[in-house]
Structure 1
Amino acid sequence: MRRLAKVELHLHLEGAAPPAFIRGLAAEKHMDISGIFAAEGGYAWKDFPHFLKVYEAASSVLRTPADYRRLLLAVAEERAADGVLYGEIFLSPDFCGGGELAAWRDYLGAMAEAAREAEATLGITLRGVVTAVRHFGPEQARRAALCAAETAGDFICGFGIGGDETVLSPADFSWGFDCAREAGLGLTAHAGEWRGPEGIRDSLAAWAPSRLGHGVRAIEDLALVDLLAEREIHLELCPGSNLALGLYPDIRHHPVAELERRGVKLSISTDDPPFFRTSLAKEFAALHRAFDWEEPQFRRIALQALDAAFCDPDTRKRITAKLEG
């Protein structure tokens, strides 16, 4: 499964930070964050609100552009070892300079440099999707969108929103999506994870994204599933994340196979892999065991993911050749 060529569209940079990396960086800075780690060394959290707190505590040790450069290289190395040829990483200006544009440019420069180094040394192509944090509120989301719009280009290719989906309504964040759209960025949004189908419908109406992060609870409204298939709204599915957070009891109860059977465009990603003790190879292996998915199916899903990617046409053509080669 590790050898299969993969495309990953839903990965939070801080959420992909190896625990050993965060622990080592905290030691360098003489910060005590030992409470966020389990006895065996991984991250320790008990439910989604606590997960968000642990995530933010781990992110607190990342304080400089140099820290983010090191982090992106560490994450790129793990993704390349997992067979990822192309990946889009969610980046938040809230964690990279507090949403200030000048500071964001410094952080972004460091991360873009790391992405170029990773491509040269590891053969993995990475792009950034600026992501607002919903529970930080609409004003912070506006600042994130401005950061995205002002730095749109080769590396920054999209804009989205994550965080606590139950906070406020999609309409409260419409300004940011309009700003990003005018800048020519692709649009994605977390929806249909902690709110039901109505959350997806509200998000589609307010933001008109071409992709949705998760979106699994669409399965509770088959008319909505048909709508997603008809409009070719791509779902960035993260089954291991959904299982870890308790949305479904096991992979056989996850709607991934039914959504695919009903014609919904989708891809497989890991979300925050060390938090959920997963990898793309583990995700693929679980899908193989539960639904008998074989190599041709995984290759088709990788191509489907690349078709939904926000990268430029030349990059898509180059990665497609690798996938089909």
Structure 2
Amino acid sequence: MKDEDERRPITDEEQLDRIARLPKVELHLHFEGGAPPAFIRGLAKQKKVDIARIFNEDGSYAYRDFWHFLEVYEAATSVLKTPEDFARLCTAVLEESAKNGVVYSETFLSPDFCGGGDLGAWREYLQAIREAAEAAERDMGVTLRGVVTCIRHFGPEKAKRAALCAAETAGDWLVGFGMAGDEKQGKQRDFAYSFDMAREAGLRLTSHAGEWNGPQEVREAVEDLRVERIGHGVRAAPDLAVVDMLAERGITLEVCPGSNVFLGVYPALRAHPIDMLRKRGVKVTVSTDDPPFFHTSMRQEYLGLARAFGWDEEIFAEINRTALDAAFCDAATKEAVLKKLEQA
């Protein structure tokens, strides 16, 4: 392997093409956030719901900043009303994943959006999504697993309902529990009850932290919720004590570089700390977050990192193995996915 200090941005088009075509493992994908805008517009038209305000003239999603994005996200989600809608969404999302060479993906699902937190309704939605995912695995070769997320800005009480839904449906397909939403509201520890419930049900744990708030937010997610993965986590970078804590404890970061740059967390990819974190010994992975909202894809993420930091096929193989090791699925699934990675 090259000395890290010798790496230069990759510009060779043949090598970039090889990198783009690599099989990929993605751990941080919001289910509704993966909805192609054309899919949402079509569904809104069918249901005669006017959400034209959330689209630009070119048909893409329109928003001003992260907090407006949350409003637009929820407006887009509002047209997803039935289990069948979510099954169709699953197929649309996995078609995009397959086009980008993703062979394994974990997606965040919220019972708040799938039945309003009612357990009986959640079971129906989950079954529809799972059936669509299994069909996509047969037809497209991409394996999907679910991670329930509570929504931070909905508050701790609603989080308990989400955790109950997760605990009651935990198994070989629903494999994890986490938290998403507005990081500026509340504290990680406010949701400890929900995370404890999920842990007792055998679910693996992750939480969004360190996307907007600083290093202390990341430390609190690890110490107060005892998660093994962090969604984003990049704002830990200014505090090397927190960075080293992540490395020492083997916490995996679900990093979404394109999302961070698009939302202005960092001014450009070259300014993003993912390369520094990796060199410091932190387990980093690469994901898209909400790809159509942030005008990205897994292929684009890989190409951007190759051009910015000189990441080559060796490093991406390392990144994918790290992601697979950190995946919440069972050993048999990991073995099957590993064969696909090794064949490349």
TM over 0.5: yes
Q: How far apart are 1:20 and its partner, in Å?
A: 0.1
Is 1:128 the counterpart of 2:141 in the alignment?
no
Q: Deviations over 1:33-59 (max 9, x none)?
A: 000001111000010110000000000
Partner of 2:75: 57
Aligned residues of 1:197 and 1:217 also touching (Cα < 8 A) = yes
Inter-partner Cα distance in structure 2 for 1:203 and 1:267: 18
Q: Deviations over 1:280-311 (max 9, x none)?
A: 11111110011111111111101110000000
Correspondent of 1:112 among 107, 110, 130: 130
- Counterpart of 1:5 in structure 2: which amino acid? P
Partner of 2:246: 228
Q: How far apart are 1:111 and its partner, in Å?
A: 0.3
- Counterpart of 1:80 in structure 2: which amino acid? A
| Root mean square deviation, CA, Å | 0.6
Is 1:196 the counterpart of 2:214 in the alignment?
yes
Inter-partner Cα distance in structure 1 for 2:304 and 2:190: 38
Q: How far apart are 1:25 and its partner, in Å?
A: 0.2
Correspondent of 1:143 among 151, 161, 168: 161
Correspondent of 1:82 among 92, 100, 112: 100
Partner of 1:100: 118
Inter-partner Cα distance in structure 2 for 1:248 and 1:216: 10
Partner of 1:178: 196
Aligned residues of 1:5 and 1:299 also touching (Cα < 8 A) = no
Is 1:304 the counterpart of 2:322 in the alignment?
yes
Inter-partner Cα distance in structure 1 for 2:112 and 2:129: 15
Question: TM-score, with normalisation over the residues of structure 2?
Answer: 0.94
Structure 2: runs of 5+ lacking an equivalent: 1-18
Aligned partner of residue 72 in structure 1, secondary structure: helix
Question: TM-score, with normalisation over the residues of structure 1?
Answer: 0.99
Aligned residues of 2:23 and 2:101 also touching (Cα < 8 A) = yes
Inter-partner Cα distance in structure 2 for 1:239 and 1:322: 25
Number of aligned residue pairs: 325
Map of 1:9-48 to 2, 5 A cutoff? Answer: 9-48=27-66
Inter-partner Cα distance in structure 2 for 1:197 and 1:106: 39
Inter-partner Cα distance in structure 2 for 1:121 and 1:321: 18
Q: How far apart are 1:324 and its partner, in Å?
A: 1.1
Inter-partner Cα distance in structure 1 for 2:317 and 2:334: 15
Partner of 2:12: none
Partner of 1:255: 273
Runs of 4+ in 1 over 6 A off after TM superposition: none
Q: How far apart are 1:2 and its partner, in Å?
A: 3.7
Q: Deviations over 1:91-144 (max 9, x none)?
A: 000000000000000000000000100011001100000000000000110000
Inter-partner Cα distance in structure 1 for 2:134 and 2:302: 28
Correspondent of 2:87 among 57, 69, 78: 69
Inter-partner Cα distance in structure 2 for 1:259 and 1:39: 39
Aligned partner of residue 195 in structure 1, secondary structure: coil
Aligned partner of residue 146 in structure 2, secondary structure: strand
Inter-partner Cα distance in structure 2 for 1:195 and 1:85: 32
- Counterpart of 2:142 in structure 1: which amino acid? I
